[in-house]
Amino acid sequence: MDSKKAIDLGARVVELQSLMIAFATDGRTPDQPSAYRDLYADVTVELEDAKYANPNPHKSLEVFFAFCKLQDMKTYASRRAYVEELYADILLDLKRIQRHAPSSKNWGKANDALNDELNPIRAQWLKAKNFIYSSTPDFENSIKESISAVESCLMVLLDEPNGTLGKIIKKALLDSDIERLITHAYGYASNKDFVRHGGTTASALTKAEAEFFLEFAAMSIVYITSKLKHE
């Protein structure tokens, strides 16, 4: 995606968010529901073309407003916060594209591999990337999301929704050396403070470790999907 397309898509996402916020606060008008439905459909297609999963499950404003009531979002501020958070990761990545900022070398390949039933994992994968390159980096959470995306792929492809990577990877029948590498990476993340668990000392993890795991997880996802989706 080039800078112009990123700008255009970002603007349409913001327009969609504005309709949601107006309808759920004090700016409701009769034409908003139909405008939202049309825009939602367009944005969903454009996001899919750009290899993003649409994180917004609300296909109509009426459904969204009912959700707000069901979740007990009584204040306008809570509704605004929810809407802003929905697309936060995608908008951050689109801004990065606009600035021509570097991306993971293998990120695109992994993102392409996360299709069909793996499509929901794209959001998790995007978080791993954004945690590194945001204005306030969070390397621990980036590593967590990277290795968790690999784990999620195995859970979906092996039909093990309650499994963990360490327990189910042998079912994948991967090359034994590669299986060992992935298992060791999972163990590393599990043993580091503040990654998959809490900690009692300050973390020493840096951007270097986070970028390593982003690349390693990308290659693992591409390998796992190529082995399991075509057998």
Predicted confidence band at 194 (pLDDT cuts at 50, 70, 90)? Answer: very low
Ramachandran region, residue 194 (left: φ > 0; alpha: ψ -120 to 50; beta: rest): left
pLDDT of amino acid 161: 92
Predicted confidence band at 187 (pLDDT cuts at 50, 70, 90)? Answer: confident
Ramachandran region, residue 26 (left: φ > 0; alpha: ψ -120 to 50; beta: rest): alpha
pLDDT at position 50 over 60: yes
The set of residues, in sequence order, having a beta carbon less than 8 Å from that of 134 and lying 6+ positions away, is 92
pLDDT at position 107 over 90: no
- Written as six digits, the tokens of 110 are 């992994």
DSSP code for 197: B
CA distances from 130 to 47, 52, 74, 95, 123 (A): 17, 14, 30, 11, 10
The set of residues, in sequence order, having a beta carbon less than 8 Å from that of 192 and lying 6+ positions away, is 140, 143, 199, 203, 205
Helical H segments across 88-206, by residue range: 88-98, 107-113, 121-133, 139-157, 165-168, 176-191
On whether the CB atoms of residues 73 and 79 are closer than 8 A, the answer is yes
Q: What is the mean pLDDT of residues 82-87?
A: 92
pLDDT at position 230 over 70: no
Q: What is the mean pLDDT of residues 139-168?
A: 92
Q: What is the pTM of this model?
A: 0.70
pLDDT of amino acid 124: 85
